[in-house]
Amino acid sequence: MACQGGKEELFEQTHRPTGPLLSCGVLEKYTNMKGVACVLLAVVVAVSSVSFFDLVREEWNAFKLEHKKEYDSEVEDKFRMKIFAENKHKVAKHNARFERGQVTYRLKPNKYSDMLHHEFVQTMNGYNKTLKHNKGLYGKGRDIRGARFVSPANVQLPEQVDWRQKGAVTDIKDQGKCGSCWSFSTTGALEAQHFRQSGYLVSLSEQNLIDCSASYGNNGCNGGLMDNAFKYIKDNGGIDTERTYPYEGVDDKCRYNPKNSGADDVGFVDVPAGDEEKLKAAVATIGPVSVAIDASQESFQMYADGVYYDENCSPDNLDHGVLVVGYGTDEQGGDYWLVKNSWGRTWGDLGYIKMARNRNNHCGIASAASYPLV
């Protein structure tokens, strides 16, 4: 856009007053206003030409500072920043759909926003990595089947349950870059049952399970099963407390000490596969229940809040162990399961997710549910 004197001369030629003269300041004011407008336009153009990259860089630096991220090289830093920017764009597009009422949950950036989705799944989701191994292992006469859950008769189940409000749930934990989700699901269920029996809420050691239950089919940071862990605890005579056997997030040698045991179990109960009503009854009458879900969808990685429903989520492709601590119905009428995850408080709704309930066993939440007997 030209902002020079030629057009001002043309203005004078084509707009000479023919009648009584007006105030001599009119033309001067017009010219001054054009000059100011051109200056403002130049400023806007200059700012817009650099602001996007600067904004991304500023957000990236804040992200690294908040989550204590460090990379081995400048090349990796730029690579991770690109992933971060792409994930933020995906979040913005999804949340625009949420505002239009097209989806029932929101997304947000979190500490995993610098990870490609496939590497995130490979790192964090450690439930089904040992299933094939277990089929052969338990052909040797070892029985891992639990007792079968039977719903209590003539009991009116409450419309809403939240075991956090009853003091049966420990704080959100963080598995780090270790596929040990199964161990957190196990301890969460046993912590709750121990609380119901004793009145004391004791945080139990996931590291104990990672290090010591390999002979039961678990593979530490490379995956495991909650039922395997319940069986180990029973045979072992207990599990140490978190305080005496703290979490490391890596495979280590077994250091179980019976003097530091915080709880034990005498077996476990399996909820009939795929039956959400039975799962509801178990959660309402027994307490928090260990479940396996399909957490392989990209939307799950950056979940923020709302009732999670992804049409691509499978009832069979189970890859992540979590803990159902309640259920209910939100203000929009969406039935949900209240689920405790083990990815820290910055993920989801302070570490929790509401997953769609009564939607044909969405994400397989009732496909492999169990709890320990104490």
Query: Among all residues, which ones are annotated catalytic?
Result: 181, 320, 341
What is the Cα–Cα distance from 186 to 292, expressed in whole angstroms?
11
Radius of gyration of the chain (CA): 29
H helix count then E strand count, the chain: 10, 12
Given a contact cutoff of 8 angstroms between Cβ atoms, the answer to whether 289 and 271 are in contact is: yes
For residue 73, the number of C-alpha atoms closer than 13 Å in the C-beta half-sphere is 3
Alpha-carbon distances, residue 366 vs 240, 302, 331 (angstroms):
29, 23, 24
> Which residues contact residue 273 at a Cβ distance below 8 angstroms, ignoring those fewer than 6 apart?
366, 367, 368, 369
Structure tokens at 123: 């790192």
What is the Cα–Cα distance from 218 to 216, expressed in whole angstroms?
6
What is the Cα–Cα distance from 318 to 370, expressed in whole angstroms?
14
- Helix, strand, coil fractions of the chain, as percent rounded to 5: 45, 15, 40
DSSP 139-196: GGS-----EEP-PPTT----S-EEGGGGT--PPP-B--SSB-HHHHHHHHHHHHHHHH
